[in-house]
Amino acid sequence: MNGAMWPTVLQAFRRATPPLAWYYAITLALPLANGAAQAGVAFVEHAMVVLVLPPVLIVLACAAYEGARVLPCGTTGCGMTVTEEPHKRSHRLPL
């Protein structure tokens, strides 16, 4: 991962914290509170996927966003004119 991407990733994680927290609460915390851990390996395997995939998706979305941002406008069709300066580009996050 490019070092310049870290601020984007951190900001994306900050913005995605409420959905992430609620997703984990409903898919992991509540089932655990209801004794889902008794299912053993099956639940652990499921929990690992549920735990790991959303952060991976956030990082992938940031990578895609950063990748699209550094591409020349001509290839993305973003509509910016060549007279625009790079620092004027929007730095909105994908999330």
Partner 1 sequence: MKIKLCMLTIVMLAIWGMKRYYADARVDDLWWILSPTARLAGSMTGAAFGMAPGEGYFSHERLFLIEKSCAGINFMIAAFGMVTFALVHRVGSGLSVVRVLGVSLLASYSAAVLVNAARIAIALWLAAHPIAPSTFTSAQVHRLEGIVVYFGGLVLLYELVQRFDRGIALTRSEP
- The nearer residue to partner 1, 54 or 69, going by C-beta atoms, is 54
Q: Least Å distance between CB 90 and partner 1?
A: 15
Q: Least Å distance between CB 36 and partner 1?
A: 12
Q: Are 37 and 65 in contact (CB under 8 A)?
A: no
Q: Which stretch binds partner 1 (CB under 8 A): 2-10, 52-60, 62-70, 71-79?
A: 52-60
Establish if 19 lies at the interface with partner 1 (CB under 8 A).
Answer: yes
Report how many residues bind partner 1 under the rule CB under 8 A: 18
Query: Which residues, 6+ apart, have CB-to-CB distance to 51 below 8 Å?
Result: 24, 28
With both helix axes pointing from N to C terminus, report the angle between 17-24 and 41-70 in degrees, rounded to the nearest 10: 160
Q: Which stretch binds partner 1 (CB under 8 A): 1-9, 16-24, 35-43, 62-70?
A: 16-24
With both helix axes pointing from N to C terminus, report the angle between 41-70 and 6-15 in degrees, rounded to the nearest 10: 130
Amino acid residing at 56: V
Establish if 68 lies at the interface with partner 1 (CB under 8 A).
Answer: no
